[in-house]
């Protein structure tokens, strides 16, 4: 029972003395709250009244909200309409099925048979139709791979063809010697990713639409003129290299003409590298004030010795088909490209294992032997001289000192000094130390270091931009690196480790698969 003994009240509330608190009218509770002399129950009464005030206001606010009520009604009506339509559609479908079954029964005189016979025959009819649908769908899916996205990805820089479980990707920048731009590398990366788990594709063939050039490298003009896009372009290139090195899919690359720089990046890590005609293999980045990237520190070490790899990167030496065969860089040699492709397309085996058996048989018919009277660039004499002067050198300065000692008596020393002076001295200096630094690194580590070093060349030095501008954009025939070095000497003052540990250089290691 509620008692008023705790309050000195001005108003007569004798009518509520026998009531419980929850039985008291709201206005009387408010009066109690406004009384001056609360004692023990003051706080409790205040809390109770406040809570009830809030509840009351909330209730009236809700009940007076006509819009809310209208919306609720509309929602309910909509639900009813949708449900009604669904029921109508269901009934209509049922009626259609009934009419269809009735027609079929009349055609086959099924109505004279027992109910069990009718059901059995209808079941057989449905199963046959379902199987026909599955066969039709399977036939269509086996014959067609949707390649519409390839145009979106590559913007016509690639031509993609599909036939007999073989995808053929043709580099299509003939006027630019198939220089890799951002559209081409985006297309390549997205396509190989999408095909990696596609069971309909048993082989990917990458080749050029240009019979005289596979790929001359990355489009360095675009990279230098828009550095932010250039960084993203090279990032995609390094991610592509990492991906194809691990993909569980046959990838075959056909070299003809120039295979240089970035062109080696998109092909050196495929399982099969096939020579067609007049291949020129080179890493010429030092000529334009850059450095041999695309994981060349890794694959040059893999196929060549330490000293030869250093020499190739330092001098931009061009190797021919004989060299690539001697050092087992290529896996096969073909003279007639059309004949070889026709043999591949005639395999016509959907099962991957059976396809691979026939595929290997065809490859074995084309061993890496060149039927021409050509001589290698890397002769025994040249290799001997390379080993003689490079073995004891741990940096470019030590190599130059070794060469200068015999410059007057040795043509090799004289020529190598000329080659170094013809290239960017800073790039040569960095390449020598960079290759030594990466010598024991994994492919992923080398690619990550390449990405960091690329940022260093684009944002922390000016040699790359100057080389591309003077040599490729302005086509300045009077530009010489040796004179530029004399006028504006640039020295490698930091160690390679210090450069790569710079916190401002981003890593892509976490983006590798």
Q: Sketch the domain layout of the chain as residue ranges.
A: 147-509
Checking if the pLDDT of 467 tops 80, the result is yes
Q: Which residues contact 163 (CB under 8 A, 6 or more apart)?
A: 345
Mean pLDDT, rounded, for 162-190: 94
Yes or no: say if 280 and 260 are a contact pair by the CB < 8 Å rule: yes
Q: What is the pLDDT of residue 83?
A: 40
Instruction: Give which of 199, 209, 194 is closest to 149, Cα–Cα.
Output: 194
What is the band of 482 on the pLDDT scale with cuts at 50, 70, 90? confident
Provide the token pair at 81. 């309409």
| Banded model confidence at residue 376, pLDDT cuts 50, 70, 90 | very high
| Average pLDDT along the chain | 80
Q: Is the pLDDT of residue 114 over 80?
A: no
Q: Is the pLDDT of residue 21 over 50?
A: yes
Report, as an integer, the average pLDDT of 332-350. 95
Per-residue CA distances from 136 to 123, 330, 418, 489 (Å): 20, 42, 68, 71
Pair type for strands 203-208 and 166-171: parallel
Predicted local confidence at residue 28, as pLDDT: 64
Give the pLDDT band of residue 333 (cuts 50, 70, 90).
very high
Q: Where are the alpha helices (DSSP H) in 245-305?
A: 262-265, 296-303
pLDDT-wise least confident of 14-28, 124-138, 275-289: 124-138
Q: What is the pLDDT of residue 23?
A: 62
Residue whose C-alpha is closest to residue 499's, from 437, 425, 441, 424: 437
136-154: per-residue pLDDT in tens?
434 334 444 556 666 666 7
Residue with tokens 């990405």: 451
| 3-state DSSP percent of the chain in helix, strand and coil, to 5 | 60, 10, 30
**Residue closest to 174 by CA, chosen among 240, 230, 257:** 257
pTM beyond 0.75, yes or no: no
Q: Is the pLDDT of residue 3 over 50?
A: no
pLDDT at 444: 96
For the segment 42-47, the average pLDDT, to the nearest whole number, is 47
**Which pLDDT does position 156 carry in this prediction?**
87
Close Cβ partners of 459 (under 8 Å, ≥ 6 residues apart) = 227
Confidence of residue 491 (pLDDT cuts 50, 70, 90): confident
Nearest to 210 by CA among 246, 160, 174, 170: 174
- The average pLDDT across 286-304 equals 97
Percent pLDDT > 70 in the chain is 70
SS3 category, 274: strand
Sign of the torsion angle spanned by Cα atoms 402, 406, 410, 415: positive
Contact 341, 282 (CB under 8 A): no
Burial 381-390 (b: 16+ CB within 10 A, else e): eebebbeebb
Q: What CATH architecture does domain 147-509 belong to?
A: Alpha-Beta Complex (3.90)
């Amino acid at each position: 029972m509620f008692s008023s003994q705790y309050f000195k009240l001005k108003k007569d509330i004798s009518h509520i003395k026998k009531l419980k608190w929850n039985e008291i009218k709201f206005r009387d509770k408010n009066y109690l709250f406004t009384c001056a002399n609360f004692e023990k129950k003051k706080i409790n009464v205040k809390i109770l009244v406040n809570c009830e005030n809030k509840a009351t206001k909330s209730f009236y606010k809700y009940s007076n909200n006509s819009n809310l009520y209208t919306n609720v009604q509309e929602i309910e009506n909509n639900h009813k309409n949708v449900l009604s339509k669904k029921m109508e559609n269901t009934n209509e479908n049922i009626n259609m099925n009934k009419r269809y079954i009735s027609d079929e029964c009349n055609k086959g005189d099924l109505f004279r048979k027992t109910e069990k016979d009718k059901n059995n025959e209808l079941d057989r009819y449905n199963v046959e139709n379902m199987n026909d649908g599955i066969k039709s769908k399977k036939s269509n899916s086996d014959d067609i791979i949707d390649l519409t996205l390839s145009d979106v990805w590559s913007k016509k820089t690639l031509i993609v063809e599909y036939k007999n479980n073989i995808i053929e990707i043709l580099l299509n920048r003939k006027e630019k010697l198939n220089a890799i731009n951002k559209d081409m590398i985006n297309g390549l990366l997205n396509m190989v990713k999408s095909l990696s788990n596609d069971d309909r594709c048993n082989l990917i063939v990458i080749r050029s639409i240009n019979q005289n050039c596979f790929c001359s490298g990355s489009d360095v003009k675009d990279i230098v003129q828009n550095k932010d896009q250039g960084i993203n372009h090279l990032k995609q290139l390094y991610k592509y290299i990492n991906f194809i090195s691990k993909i569980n899919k046959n990838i075959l690359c056909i070299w003809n003409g120039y295979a240089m720089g970035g062109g080696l990046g998109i092909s050196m890590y495929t399982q099969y590298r096939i020579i067609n005609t007049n291949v020129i293999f080179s890493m010429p980045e030092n000529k334009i004030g850059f450095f041999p990237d695309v994981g060349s520190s890794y694959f040059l070490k893999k196929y060549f010795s330490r000293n030869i790899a250093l020499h190739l990167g330092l001098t931009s030496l061009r190797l021919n088909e004989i060299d690539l065969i001697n050092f087992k860089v290529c896996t096969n040699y073909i003279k007639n490209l059309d004949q070889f492709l026709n043999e591949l397309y005639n395999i016509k085996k959907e099962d991957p294992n059976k396809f691979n058996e026939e595929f290997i048989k065809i490859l074995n018919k084309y061993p890496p032997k060149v039927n021409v009277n050509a001589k290698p660039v890397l002769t025994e004499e040249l290799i001997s001289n390379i080993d003689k002067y490079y073995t004891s050198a741990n940096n470019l300065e030590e190599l130059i000192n070794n060469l200068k000692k015999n410059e007057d008596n040795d043509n090799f020393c004289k020529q190598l000094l000329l080659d170094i002076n013809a290239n960017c001295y800073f790039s040569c200096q960095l390449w020598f130390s960079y290759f030594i630094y990466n010598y024991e690194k994994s492919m992923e580590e080398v690619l990550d270091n390449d990405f960091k070093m690329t940022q260093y060349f684009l944002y922390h030095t000016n040699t790359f931009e100057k080389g591309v501008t003077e040599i490729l954009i302005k086509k300045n025939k009077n530009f010489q690196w040796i004179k530029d070095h004399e006028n504006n000497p640039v020295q490698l003052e930091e160690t390679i480790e210090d450069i790569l540990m710079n916190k401002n250089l981003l890593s892509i290691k976490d983006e590798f698969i």
